[in-house]
């Protein structure tokens, strides 16, 4: 796994990230809140406190502070200096947009799909992940898989309807540039697309369907069937009284139909809900047992 000059990789990766981030933004549906060039007010406040300075509006962030935050909070956390060209940029951009742990999970899942990583999907870029990366012989494929995992995650967020167009364009650009750099090419130019700068956090994940609803519906169907059986016995006892027997027979028939509809509908919805719940867990990198 060839690693180029780390300083060059950080500088050119940050330049691309800043294109996607644009300038100041404070969209009401963006969980990042007030953000300047990709740095949120919360992150800026933390940085200022760490150097013994008082908080100021993130609009006033200096280029020196910007560089320091991006290197310390994102690049160093993903061990960018130890990653191959292209891969470091792809993981870096994901970390800025969705957090370091989430971006590393996409990398780990991609390595797992390639059969190179058997460790935990824990979002920690440790020695096991680095060893798996050393076995990669097709960085293009790895980058494509990382970006596919990222898109699946974004689609699982409630805010995708608002920011999906910008996010999709951003990931497309990241993939194109990353694959070009991985092969030694300069790569295409990219442009700012509104919405792509919005933070994409797991806290905004869609809610999974509730299986209890399906179970209750199925149970209702079974219950109706049991009542129908009881009434059938009553009808048999009332058979000499034709009018009463006929009325009970109609009720029994109705309950049988209702029972069938509720049972089949409940089972069908449970199948759908289970598939949807499993798909969300997979997209959000939540362990299947949870």
Structure tokens at 99: 């957090």
Q: What is the pLDDT of residue 237?
A: 54
**Would you tell me which CATH number, out of the four given (3.40.50.150, 1.20.141.10, 3.40.50.300, 3.40.50.800), belongs to the domain 6-201?**
1.20.141.10
**Average pLDDT value for residue range 162-183:** 97
Burial letters 204-233, b for 16+ CB under 10 A, else e = bbeebbeeeebeebbebbeebbebbeebbe
Q: Which of 165, 145, 163 is nearest to 105 (CA)?
A: 145
Contact between 55 and 48 (Cβ < 8 Å): yes
Strand order in the sheet with 35-36: 24-25, 35-36, 39-40
pLDDT in tens, 110-158: 999 999 999 999 999 999 999 999 999 999 999 999 999 999 999 999 9
Residue 43 has pLDDT above 60, yes or no: yes
Residue 42 has pLDDT above 60, yes or no: yes
């Amino acid at each position: 796994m060839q690693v180029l000059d780390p300083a060059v990789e950080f500088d050119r990766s940050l330049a691309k990230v800043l294109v996607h981030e644009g300038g100041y933004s404070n969209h009401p549906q963006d969980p990042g809140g007030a953000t300047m060039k990709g740095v949120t007010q919360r992150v800026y406040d933390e940085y200022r406190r760490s150097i013994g300075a008082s908080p100021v509006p993130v609009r006033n962030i200096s280029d020196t502070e910007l560089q320091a935050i991006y290197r310390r909070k994102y690049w160093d956390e993903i061990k960018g200096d130890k990653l191959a060209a292209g891969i470091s940029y792809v993981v870096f951009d994901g970390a800025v947009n969705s957090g370091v742990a989430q971006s590393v999970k996409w990398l780990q899942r991609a390595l797992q799909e390639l059969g190179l990583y058997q460790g935990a999907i824990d979002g920690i870029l440790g020695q096991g992940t680095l060893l798996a990366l050393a076995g990669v012989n097709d960085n293009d494929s790895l980058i494509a898989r990382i970006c596919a995992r990222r898109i699946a995650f974004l689609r699982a967020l409630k805010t995708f309807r608002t920011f999906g167009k910008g996010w999709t364009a951003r990931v497309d650009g990241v993939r194109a540039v990353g694959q070009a750099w991985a092969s030694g090419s300069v790569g295409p130019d990219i442009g700012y697309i509104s919405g792509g700068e919005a933070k994409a956090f797991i806290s905004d994940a869609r809610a999974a369907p509730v299986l209890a609803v399906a179970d209750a519906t199925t149970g209702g169907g079974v219950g109706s069937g049991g009542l129908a059986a009881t009434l059938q016995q009553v009808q048999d006892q009332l058979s000499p009284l034709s009018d009463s027997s006929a009325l009970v027979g109609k009720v029994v028939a109705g309950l049988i139909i209702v029972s069938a509809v509720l049972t089949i509908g409940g089972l069908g919805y449970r199948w759908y809900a289970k598939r949807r719940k499993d798909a969300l867990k997979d997209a959000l990198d939540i362990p299947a047992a949870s």
